[in-house]
Chains A and B, each alone.
Chain A
Amino acid sequence: MRDPAQDFAQDFAQRHSSLTTLPDRLAMHAPAPPPVTPAVRFAGVVRHFGTVRAVDGVDLAIAPGEFFAMLGPSGSGKTTCLRLIAGFEQPDAGHIAIFGESVEGLPPYRRAVNTVFQDYALFPHLCVGDNVAYGLRVRGVGRAERDTLAREALAMVKLAGMEARRPAQLSGGQRQRVALARALVVRPKVLLLDEPLGALDLKLREEMQSELKSLQRALGLTFVFVTHDQGEALSMADRVAVFNEGRIVQVGPPEQVYERPATRFVAQFVGSANVLGAAQALALGGAERPSSLRPEKIALLAPNATPPMGAAVVEGIVEDVSYQGPVRRVAVRTSGGPSLVATVPASASGVAIGDAVRLAIPRAALQPMESEG
């Protein structure tokens, strides 16, 4: 049994390179770009809504074939950036290029990008097959060919045989897959995903995460993925851009963003780290700079245990304990110092509110940040 995703990927690659089987006017103005050209490039992009600067001077380069996540709280400008790429919004200042071509003034229907919407935006009056074939239909692909392509695309997202259903008859996860198939069937150069997993329950979400990732790998396509869920961003993306108040505060591979948050905002938004002032960091053996400290790096010392090498020891009183499945989250008020949160294995029992405890903090765990901001 062959994997439909594999089939699709091969097919996709063939069609995409030949550009002849698909009468795609979008493809016409895209001669083979030099390999270094970013798939998407933002230069000083600004977008206001009234007095609100939703996007406030964003510079960005997304490499071809990259799985790029835009992470941030709501209102941070990440979705607006996605809409700027799609063409639903036009920048008030700055430039956007897709594979080296400026898209200034180009309406969405003239851009070689496609979007998977947060609410999927399936056409309720069309059956699933026609939904998927919609982009082919508007390009003038004949009925028979577009039915074939739509069937293939549905098979790829594991919805073979669902062509005749109405969107209303599908579950949330199924609708999500239809939206995905509909966007992919027109062979976009960049696929934009706007919180595509937000409406799914946890189990489905995890399943879709790995599927999306393997699909992206198989297709070799550029994915731009908007999410407010840091776990999702970290687990799926090749690189993550963290947005705050219309600006990108940090871009980098997930490990980098997580391990070495550039700012207090990143530290707290991604993985809710402890943030220490310069003096506090110095007192624990770090640099005299504001620093972040991941809760899982802090160890709870047994009463008579000797602290590991290179670790500072602080004493404090347990203020709160909460059970979180694999771990326990322990909040400790240190004597004369800050309140710190540590996560310890859930099996480590016997910590109760009011207990006096000792915390071991490895010096290397203190990550100096660029600023407090």
Chain B
Amino acid sequence: MSLSTLDLPDPHDGALRRLSDLLVRRARLLTLLLLVPPLLWLGLVYLGSLFVFLGQSIFSIDEFSGTIVREPTTATLLELFRPANFDIVQRTVAIAAVVTLLCAIIAFPIAYYAARYAGPRVKAGFYLAVMMPLWSSYLVKIYGWKLLLAKEGAIGWFAGRLGLGGALEAWLALPLVGGPSLSVSYTGMVLTFTYLWLPFMILPVQAALERVPAHLIEAAGDLGAAPGLVFRTVILPLAMPGVVAGAIFTFSLTLGDYIVPQIIGTSALVLGQAVYMQQGTAGNVPLAAAFSLVPILVMALFLTLAKRTGAFDAL
């Protein structure tokens, strides 16, 4: 039998096949089918509950009975501006900003090496090394850092061994960043956060750098830009969406965290703890909701500013 005379039977025409016919002809129906479950989940369950909770912030708590007064008022939102509460907002945003900056500074060279120089084997090792800390328990890591940062912990011991004990003491004697020991200072808290969230910065930055075509870097050099200038004018702007994506992670994760500050730091509350305390132990759901609005507003502001500065131009 030759190829020209070969007579193949048609494939069996089953119900699934007919369904496929329908979906192929009506691409919109397929899109709809694919999107409905996640949209229901996101829209109703997730966003719905979030907005119901946030909506509480327009109510207030009756000072005497502690019950929630369900009449719209701005009193609760204005409470945020009471000095003690506004301290919490400023403190948390400042910590998140420093953590984000530190993450970006540490992550960039690592991501750059992985994206541009590492071979396939090194890259596999790199992914493993970056991801591995994410596999162990978050609490274990925090307790580990507490031990590292303790007065009689590993960092102090090493500093002493290297003759840097004096430098550590001098740092701890500084007014804002210091304290009785690293584990009860802002320095310790920022270091712990930076360690915890670093993978969330490295991975998007690395992905962004990998998408910068090698030709663009060559072109910049070809046009006369020395490496430093190439970095500033081409690589950094093109990697910026990755840095911003990473910053969204590190910034919002720091804004929302309430476990690390319980274990490491100065005992001064951050937003997450304030929400927890107001909602959980004080029963002041409206104020907790008002506090919860802060990270959302801060992130919105952050993204707006990032867009203004052209961080997304290369998208």
Q: Do A and B interact with each other, yes or no?
A: yes
Question: CB within 8 Å of B: which residues of A?
Answer: 26, 86-88, 107-109, 113-115, 117, 119, 121, 123-125, 134-135, 137-139, 182-183, 186
Query: Which one of A114, A119, A124 contacts B222 once the chains associate, using CB atoms below 8 Å?
Result: A114
Alpha-carbon distance A109/B222, docked complex (angstroms):
5
Interface-centre pick from A108, A137, A139 (highest chain B CB count, 10 A): A108
Q: Which residues of A contact B313 (CB under 8 A)?
A: 125
Alpha-carbon distance A119/B218, docked complex (angstroms):
12
B224 contacts A135, C-beta separation under 8 Å: yes
Question: CB within 8 Å of A: which residues of B?
Answer: 213, 215-216, 218-226, 229, 233-234, 237-238, 310, 313-314
Alpha-carbon distance A117/B213, docked complex (angstroms):
12
Q: Known A117-B215, A124-B314, A125-B310; judge A109-B225 contact (CB<8 A).
A: yes
Q: A86-B222, A134-B220 are in contact. List 10 more A-B contacts (CB 8 A).
A: A114-B222, A114-B223, A117-B215, A117-B218, A124-B314, A125-B314, A138-B224, A138-B226, A183-B223, A186-B224
Q: Which residues of B contact A123 (CB under 8 A)?
A: 216, 219-220, 234
Nearest-neighbour CB distance to chain A for B209, whole angstroms, equals: 14
Query: Which one of B218, B310, B314 contacts A121 once the chains associate, using CB atoms below 8 Å?
Result: B218
Q: Which residues of A contact B234 (CB under 8 A)?
A: 123
B223 contacts A138, C-beta separation under 8 Å: yes
Nearest-neighbour CB distance to chain A for B226, whole angstroms, equals: 5
Q: Which residues of B contact A134 (CB under 8 A)?
A: 220, 223, 225, 233
Q: Whose C-beta in chain B lies nearest to the C-beta of A127?
A: B313
12 sample A-B contacts, Cβ–Cβ < 8 Å, listed by A number: A86-B218, A88-B222, A108-B218, A108-B221, A113-B222, A115-B218, A121-B213, A121-B215, A123-B219, A123-B234, A125-B314, A134-B223
Alpha-carbon distance A115/B221, docked complex (angstroms):
10
Q: Which residues of B contact A113 (CB under 8 A)?
A: 222
Alpha-carbon distance A123/B234, docked complex (angstroms):
7
B contact face: mostly helix, strand, loop, or mixed = helix
Q: Whose C-beta in chain B lies nearest to the C-beta of A115?
A: B222
Nearest-neighbour CB distance to chain A for B65, whole angstroms, equals: 58
Q: Which residues of A contact B222 (CB under 8 A)?
A: 86-88, 108-109, 113-115, 183
Query: Which one of B216, B219, B224 contacts A26 once the chains associate, using CB atoms below 8 Å?
Result: B224
A119 contacts B215, C-beta separation under 8 Å: yes
Q: Which residues of B contact A87 (CB under 8 A)?
A: 221-222
Alpha-carbon distance A87/B219, docked complex (angstroms):
11
A119 contacts B213, C-beta separation under 8 Å: yes
Alpha-carbon distance A137/B226, docked complex (angstroms):
12
A109 contacts B224, C-beta separation under 8 Å: yes
Nearest-neighbour CB distance to chain A for B304, whole angstroms, equals: 19
Alpha-carbon distance A137/B47, docked complex (angstroms):
48
A107 contacts B219, C-beta separation under 8 Å: no
Q: Known A117-B215, A119-B215, A125-B310; judge A107-B224 contact (CB<8 A).
A: no
Q: Which residues of B contact A26 (CB under 8 A)?
A: 224
Query: Which one of B213, B219, B310 contacts A115 once the chains associate, using CB atoms below 8 Å?
Result: B219
Query: Which one of B215, B226, B314 contacts A109 once the chains associate, using CB atoms below 8 Å?
Result: B226
Alpha-carbon distance A139/B226, docked complex (angstroms):
10
Q: Which residues of A contact B213 (CB under 8 A)?
A: 119, 121
A107 contacts B314, C-beta separation under 8 Å: no
Nearest-neighbour CB distance to chain A for B149, whole angstroms, equals: 40
Alpha-carbon distance A117/B293, docked complex (angstroms):
50
Nearest-neighbour CB distance to chain B for A296, whole angstroms, equals: 37
A138 contacts B219, C-beta separation under 8 Å: no
Query: Which one of B220, B226, B238 contacts A124 once the chains associate, using CB atoms below 8 Å?
Result: B238
Alpha-carbon distance A316/B265, docked complex (angstroms):
95
Alpha-carbon distance A86/B221, docked complex (angstroms):
10
Which are the 3 A-B pairs with shortest beta-carbon distances?
A135-B223, A121-B219, A121-B215
Nearest-neighbour CB distance to chain B for A40, whole angstroms, equals: 15
Q: Whose C-beta in chain B lies nearest to the C-beta of A135?
A: B223
B224 contacts A139, C-beta separation under 8 Å: yes
Q: Whose C-beta in chain B lies nearest to the C-beta of A25?
A: B224
Nearest-neighbour CB distance to chain B for A212, whole angstroms, equals: 18
Q: Known A123-B234, A125-B237; judge A186-B223 contact (CB<8 A).
A: yes
Alpha-carbon distance A139/B225, docked complex (angstroms):
8
Alpha-carbon distance A135/B225, docked complex (angstroms):
7
Q: Which residues of A contact B218 (CB under 8 A)?
A: 86, 88, 108, 115, 117, 121
Alpha-carbon distance A107/B223, docked complex (angstroms):
11
A138 contacts B225, C-beta separation under 8 Å: yes
Query: Which one of B219, B226, B233 contacts A117 once the chains associate, using CB atoms below 8 Å?
Result: B219
Alpha-carbon distance A86/B313, docked complex (angstroms):
29
Q: Whose C-beta in chain A lies nearest to the C-beta of B313?
A: A125
Interface-centre pick from B222, B226, B233 (highest chain A CB count, 10 A): B222
Q: Whose C-beta in chain B lies nearest to the C-beta of A130?
A: B233
Alpha-carbon distance A125/B236, docked complex (angstroms):
11
Q: Which residues of B contact A107 (CB under 8 A)?
A: 221, 226
Nearest-neighbour CB distance to chain A for B217, whole angstroms, equals: 9
Interface-centre pick from B221, B224, B233 (highest chain A CB count, 10 A): B224
Q: Which residues of A contact B224 (CB under 8 A)?
A: 26, 109, 135, 138-139, 186
